[in-house]
Structures are given as C-alpha cells and as structure tokens.
C-alpha cells in the first residue's frame, strides 16, 4: 500500500497497479504500449477523483482518494451537505474527465505530425479514448457509478426517500439489461462487471425498501452523529438525551431502530436492564443481527426465558456456537421443556462444548434433572 500524505491523502492499493498494467497490455500487447496505457489510466483516474475531492474540500468536507482494484474512490468526511452540493461533488469527477479528454484532443490537434507518431502522441491519443470512454460509462445510471449516484441525488432531492428507491430500482434494471446485452455481443468481461453492479444495486435496493423519510433527515442524522460521539467520549447522559430525541421524532425506520438499540445499551450500562428490555422487545422482529443478539443476551440475563426460547432458533442461525446452544438448552430447561432442552444440549456437545459434564450440573437444569431424557444424556457424556 502506497500512501501519499497531504491536504487530500492518496492511498494506492497494490492491485490497482495490476489492474492498470493488465488493461494496458490488453489494449496494446506491447511492453511500451502497456506502460503508456498504465500511466495514462493512472493520471486519468487521479484527475477524476481530484474532481470529487477538490469540490468536497471547497464545501468544507475532508476528502481522501483511494485507488483500488476497480478504479478510484473518494472518501468524504465532515458535515452533511445539501443535495445540490452533493450533486456537484459527484458531477465534478466526470466533468474533470471530460476536461482532460478535451485538453488531450486539443493537444493532438495542435501537435505536429511528426510528434503524433511518438510515445507522447500515442499517450495523448490514449488519453482522449480513455477519458471519453470511461466518463461515458461512468455516467450510466448504475450504482455504484457516478451516474447512478447523480440519479439517486436528483430523485431523492425531488421526491425524498421514494426517489431514492426509484433510482436504485432503475439502476438494477439498467445494469441487468446492459449485462445481458454484453453477453449477447460476446463481451464477457464487461458483462460480468455489469452483473456485479446489478447485484450491488439489488442489495442497495433491498436495504432501501425499509427506509423512511426520517432516515434521510439531515438534522436527525447529525443528532445521531453527536450521540455516537458522546458515547465514545463517555458522556452517557448527553448521549441518552440525544438518542431519546431521535426515538421520539422517528418512531419507525432504520434510524429509529439504530438509535433505540444504542439507547437500550446505555440503559443496560446504567443498570436499567428491565427498562431496556421493555423498550426493545416489541421490535424484535425488525432488529438487525446485532440488535437481535443483544436482545437475546438481555432476555437471558433478566431471566425472560420465554423470550429466549422465542429467539433461540433465529439467534443460533446467525451465531451457531456451542455456548449459544447451551444457553438455549438452559432456557428450555427453566420452562421444563425436556425434549427441547436435551436437544439443544446435544447440539452444544456436537459443537464442541468444553467441560460438558460440568455444564450439566448447572442449576438451570434442575427443573428437568430427574427426567429420563436428561438422565440418559448425562450417562452418555
């Protein structure tokens, strides 16, 4: 990994060099041509990303350029911006590419004929092609290309979260259609790339289906960021107040669930476990994996055995460990469900539960200890 410090730090992944050299070779099949293509691609990608990064700096954000295997990526941090500012930041990447394309074309027009056949002239020709072709491709309304992001910003700016969902749906349709067209034209490599974009767009669209208008509210998102910062700095009371405000103002959606989960974690840290459980349990079907496991552990700690058994199979699917199976067995034992408890114990043993004999002496199993099924299992361990 090469790191270049500065106002706009640049990080270059080793696979980026592999990618541009491979593209250079596939387009020239010569050593000199490969090097020229690689240099032009490197410079073109860098100019494109500087278009994003410089505009972000102008609007008060911090920016970092990463050159990775599939090209460039500008990472931004700082205050959330209005939609039109985000639009300009995204747009200026392709715009810088068009400017470089135009400058290379004008240079070729002004260049003497004897220079056009040199390496310099070849590089200018490649620069025109690379920047024209890539900028055109990059403006297709497909995620995660700039065209897809521009469509997302524009539609969300006009129609809110519904516009976001429409943009992501259109991205899926366009990427899938173009992928099939490329396969039909026997352009397998481009088809595979577009299929990759289709699956990425489908994932984003699926995640966006649960979004509500409050999930994209800039004021609430800023409040969430402040709350997270308070937690990191140990200011629990301020963080709790912020999370409470978000929960009250949202009432549903991703931001609501994330804030509610963080709020209940704070309540547990403050010793208010029952209150935390009461707040979180009604939303157990909508929780993320992290939230589901947190609710499970919370229910186990406060001896809500029925809730533990309700969550047993779901939590084991995402965390198939011996300890999880053992906890499930304990909960079922507390409720005197002998068959289920013994079944989970056998599962825990298959998963490699250490010191299984000692675990069987746990008081949680007292309600079923004298049953035939439990006695039989004890003899086998």
CA dist 284 to 105, 245, 249, 260, 303, Å? 60, 21, 20, 11, 17
Provide the number of structural domains found in the chain.
Answer: 4
Same domain for 176 and 102, yes or no, is: no
Assess whether 270 and 186 both reside in one domain. Answer: no
Q: Is the whole model's pTM more than 0.85, yes or no? A: no
Which of 258, 284, 302 is a domain's end point?
302
In which domain, by residue range, is 344 found?
303-381
pLDDT digits over 34-83, tens only? 999 999 999 999 999 999 999 999 999 999 999 998 789 999 988 778 88
Specify the pairing of strand 62-68 against strand 2-4.
Answer: unpaired
Which region holds residue 288: left if phi is over 0, alpha if psi is between -120 and 50, else beta? beta
- Tens digits of residue pLDDT in 52-66: 999 999 999 999 999
Contact 305, 297 (CB under 8 A): no
For residue 92, the model assigns a pLDDT of 95
| Residue that is last in its domain, among 90, 114, 139 | 139
Residues 101 and 69 in one domain: yes
Examine the pLDDT at 331 and tell me if it is beyond 80.
yes
Is 90 exceeded by the pLDDT of residue 1? no
Pair (22, 111) in one structural domain: yes
Residues 298 and 315 reside in one and the same domain: no
Domain stops at, among 117, 139, 161: 139
Any idea what the CATH number is for the domain that residue 236 is in?
1.25.40.10
Please indicate, yes or no, whether residues 101 and 27 belong to a single structural domain of this protein. yes
pLDDT tens profile 15-29: 999 999 998 998 888
Residues 256 and 361 in one domain: no
Mean pLDDT of the chain: 92
Domain identity same for 3 and 92: yes
């Amino acid at each position: 990994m090469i790191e270049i410090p500065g106002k706009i730090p640049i990080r270059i992944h080793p696979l980026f060099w592999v990618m541009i050299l491979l593209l250079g070779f596939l387009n020239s099949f010569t050593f000199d041509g490969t090097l020229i293509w690689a240099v032009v691609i490197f410079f073109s990608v860098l100019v494109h990303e500087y278009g994003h990064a410089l505009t972000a700096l102008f609007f008060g954000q911090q920016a970092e350029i990463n050159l990775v295997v599939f090209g460039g990526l500008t990472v931004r941090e700082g205050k959330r911006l209005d939609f039109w500012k985000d639009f300009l930041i995204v747009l200026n990447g392709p715009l810088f590419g068009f400017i470089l394309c135009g400058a290379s074309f004008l240079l070729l027009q002004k260049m003497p004929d004897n220079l056009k056949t040199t390496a310099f002239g070849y590089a200018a020709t490649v620069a025109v092609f690379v920047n024209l072709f890539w900028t055109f491709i990059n403006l297709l309304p497909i995620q995660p290309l700039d065209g897809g992001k521009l469509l997302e910003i524009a539609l969300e700016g006009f129609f809110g979260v519904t516009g976001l969902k429409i943009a992501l749906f259109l991205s899926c349709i366009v990427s899938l259609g173009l992928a099939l067209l490329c396969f039909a034209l026997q352009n397998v490599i481009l088809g595979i790339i577009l299929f990759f974009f289709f699956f990425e767009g489908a994932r984003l669209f699926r995640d966006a289906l649960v979004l509500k208008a409050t999930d994209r509210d800039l004021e609430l998102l800023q409040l969430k960021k402040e709350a997270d910062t308070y937690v990191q700095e140990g200011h629990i009371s301020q963080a709790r107040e912020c999370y409470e405000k978000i929960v009250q103002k949202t009432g549903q959606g991703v931001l609501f669930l994330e804030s509610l989960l963080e709020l209940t974690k704070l309540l547990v840290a403050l010793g208010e476990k029952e209150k935390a459980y009461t707040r979180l349990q009604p939303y157990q079907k909508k929780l993320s994996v992290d939230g589901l496991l947190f609710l499970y552990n919370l229910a186990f700690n406060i001896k809500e055995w029925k809730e533990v058994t309700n969550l047993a199979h779901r939590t084991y699917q995402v965390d198939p460990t011996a300890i999880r199976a053992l906890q499930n067995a304990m909960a079922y034992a507390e409720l005197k469900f002998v068959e289920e408890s013994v079944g989970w114990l056998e599962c825990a043993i298959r998963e490699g539960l250490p010191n299984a004999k000692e675990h069987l002496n746990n008081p949680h199993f007292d309600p079923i200890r004298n049953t035939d099924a439990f006695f039989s299992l004890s003899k086998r361990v």
